[in-house]
Amino acid sequence: MPALPVLPAADDAALREACAALDAGRLVVVPTETVYGLAADARNAEAVARIYAAKGRPSHNPLIVHVADLDAAEQVAVFDERARRLAATFWPGPLTLVLPLRPDAGLAPAVTAGLQTVAVRVPDQPDLLGLLRRFVGPLAAPSANRSGRLSPTRAADAAADLDHPEALPHVACVLDGGPCARGLESTIVGLTDATPRLLRPGALEPARIEALVGPLAAPDAAAGVVAPGMLLRHYAPGLPLRLDVEVPLPFEAYLAFGPEAVEGAFCNLSPNGDVAEAARRLFAALRDADDPTRFRGIAVAPLPPAGVGLALHDRLRRAAASSRDPDAVRVVVFDLGGVVVQIARTWAERCAAAGLPVRDGADGDAALAACAAEIDAVQRGTATTRAVAEALHAALRGAYTVDELERLYESQVTGPYPGVAALTTRLRCPHAILSNTSAGHWPGLCATEVVRSAVARFASFELGLLKPERAIFDHVAGALGEAPGHLLLIEDSAPNAAAAAAAGWQVECVDPFGDVAAQLEERFAARGLLRG
C-alpha cells in the first residue's frame, strides 16, 4: 500500500481535497497549535469508527470535537456562564472544555464514547480554522498517533505513525502545517458540575484558567469521569526513560535544558532555559531519540516545574512510569573488578607451593602490592602486560615464568569475564561500570564520569578492588539521580555487595570462580531484564 500523501495545509487545493475526503467519511490528519489531530466528520458514525480503528484506540476513550468558533461549539454542548467566559478568553486556543452534551448535537455516539458529556475546542491554527469553516461541521480529532505512542508534533511523525495496515486504508492525507506552535496537548477542563476540574494539564497554564473560574479541582474518580488520556500508558517512547538526570549514562540520548553545555547531549530542549520552547520541542525530541539502534535509553534534564513545565512533568512522568514498573531496576551497575580476586588466589596457591610467604586475603599479598603501580599503568593504557608480568615475576621470585604471568594477566585482569559484555547489549535498561578493572576493557563500554568521581572521592584503588564503602554507593546513586532501590549492583566481591546492600541497593553477587556470564544471564532473565 502506498504511504500517506502529505500535502501543504496552506494550499487551497489541498484543503478542498481534505474536505471531500471528510465528506466521504474518510480521515484526514490536521495540524493544530497543540499536536497533529486525526480528524473525521463527528456526525458520521462510520467515519468516527475509523478513527478508533486507525489509532488502535480503546472505544471507551472519547474524542475531542473541534469547531470553528463559539457558535458552532454551542450547537454540540451546553454552555454556562463560566464556560462562555473561558471560551471568550482562550478560544481559539489550547483549551478543551468538557460540558454537558446537547441532546440535539447530532454527534455519532462513539465520539463521546456514549457519555452525556462532550469535549470541545476551537483550535488556534489558521489552516485548520480554514478547513473547519469550509467543511461546516464538527470534526472529531484525537491526536494523530497510534494509541500508546507520543502525540505527533510534526506532519512526518503523524504520517510515520499511521503508516500501519490498520490505519492506511482509512486515512486520505496528511495536511502539513509545519511544527506545532505549542507541541503539547490542550488543557482539558471539566465543567459538568459546580466544581471546575482540571482533567488534563496541557499547553494552557491552569493559573490563567483559575483566574477566571476559581480553583481547579482534581478529576473526580468517584463520578467515573472517563479521561483515559490520564491513563499511565498513554505517552510512551519505546526506550527506557529517566527524568531529572544531570549526568547521563553512556549510550543514553540526553535531552539537555538550559545554558550549561553537556558534552555529547542529543539535543538541548531550550538553551535559554525557556520552558515553553522545551514544551514545543519535547515530543519531537523524544521521537528522534527513541532509536534503539543508537541508544539504550533516554535521559531528560531537570525542567523547571513552573508554568507549562507542570504539564511537561505530567507527560514525562507518565512516559517514564509506563516504560517500566515503578519498583523495577532502572540502572544496572557492574562492579566486576574482582577478577583480581581470582588471579590473586591462584597466585597465593602457587606462591605457597613455592614456599613464599602468603598473607591472608585476596588483595593483601605483598607481591601484588609491589607491582600495583604497573598494574594500574596497564589499566590506564600506559604500560604493557609484559611489563607487569616482568614486575610480578621479580616480585614472586620466580614462582611463575614471565610468559605464564603475562598469559594469566591478559586473560583475567585486563580482560573481562567472558560473555558479560555481550550480555549487557541485551539489557532492557542502561548500565554503568563501577570497577576500573572492567571499565575500558569491555568493548563499547566505559566508566561514567559519575563513577570516576565516586572512585576518586571514596575509593582507594588497589589492584582493581574498591574499598567496600557505603559512601561509594550513596554517591553513585545520588549522581545517577536514582533512588538506591532502583539500582541493581552486579558484584563479584562479598564485602562490596554488603556495602551496597547497606546503602539500599538491589544486589546480585556472582561467584567469580564460576561462569559469570551464565550466572548473570539466569539472574537477569529471572528479573525480566533481558530482551529477546
**Using CB distances below 5 to 8 A depending on partner kind, what does residue 171 bind out of ligand TXA, Mg ion, none?**
none
Pairwise CA distance, residues 257 & 269, whole Å: 5
Which is nearer to ligand TXA, 38 or 399 (by Cβ)?
A: 38
Answer yes or no whether residue 98 interacts with ligand TXA by CB under 6 A.
yes
User: Of residues 6, 70, 225, 377, which one binds ligand TXA by CB under 6 A?
Assistant: 225
Q: Which does 100 bind (CB under 5 to 8 A by kind): Mg ion, ligand TXA, none?
A: none
Q: How far is CA 181 from CA 24, 203, 281, 295, 471, in A?
A: 30, 10, 9, 28, 47
Instruction: Compute the distance between CA of residue 481 and CA of residue 391 in angstroms, rounded to an integer.
Output: 42
**CA 375 from centroid of its chain's CA atoms:** 39
Q: Cα–Cα distance between 247 and 245 in angstroms, integer?
A: 6
Closest CA to 150 of 226, 215, 238, 65: 238
CB of 229 to Mg ion, least distance (A): 6
Quick check: 28 and 51 in contact, CB under 8 A? no
Taking the CA atoms of 300, 305, 306 and 310 in sequence, report the sign of the dihedral they define.
positive
As measured in angstroms, the least distance from the Cβ of 239 to ligand TXA is: 22
In the complex, the smallest distance separating the C-beta of residue 286 from ligand TXA, rounded to whole angstroms, is 16
User: What distance in Å separates the CA atoms of residue 7 and residue 41, rounded to the nearest whole number?
Assistant: 19
- Binding site partner of 172, from ligand TXA, Mg ion, none, Cβ cut-off 5-8 A by kind: none
Is 186 among the residues that bind ligand TXA (CB under 6 A)? Answer: yes
The reply to whether 226 sits near ligand TXA by the rule CB under 6 A is yes
44 binds ligand TXA (CB under 6 A): no
Strand 331-335's sheet: what is its strand order? 431-433, 331-335, 487-491, 506-509
Q: Are strands 487-491 and 331-335 parallel, antiparallel or unpaired?
A: parallel
Q: Identify the three-state secondary structure at position 529.
A: coil
Distance of alpha carbon 244 from alpha carbon 303, whole angstroms: 7
Total residues contacting ligand TXA by CB under 6 A comes to 29
Residue 488: closest CA among 464, 438, 523, 456 = 523
Q: Report the nearest approach of ligand TXA to the CB of residue 38 (Å).
A: 8
Instruction: Please give the sequence-ordered ranges of beta strands (E in DSSP) within 84-163, or none if there are none.
Output: 95-100, 117-121, 139-140
Q: 67 vs 399, which CB is nearer to ligand TXA?
A: 67
Choosing from 86, 110, 112, 301, the residue that interacts with ligand TXA (CB under 6 A) is 112
Could you tell me which stretch among 46-54, 135-143, 322-330, 400-408 binds Mg ion (CB under 5 A)? Answer: 135-143
User: Which residue in the shown chain puts its C-beta closest to ligand TXA?
Assistant: 229
Stretch of 136-144, 191-199, 237-245, 408-416 lying at the interface with Mg ion (CB under 5 A): 136-144
| Interface with Mg ion (CB under 5 A), residue from 143, 187, 268, 323 | 143
474-493: which residues touch ligand TXA (CB under 6 A)?
Answer: none
125 binds ligand TXA (CB under 6 A): no
Instruction: Confirm or reject binding of residue 186 to Mg ion (CB under 5 A).
Output: no
Q: Does 153 bind ligand TXA (CB under 6 A)?
A: no
Residues of the shown chain interacting with ligand TXA in the complex, contacts defined by CB under 6 A: 32, 34-35, 37, 61-64, 96, 98, 112, 115, 117-119, 123, 141-143, 185-186, 188, 199-200, 225-229
Binding residues vs Mg ion (CB under 5 A): 143
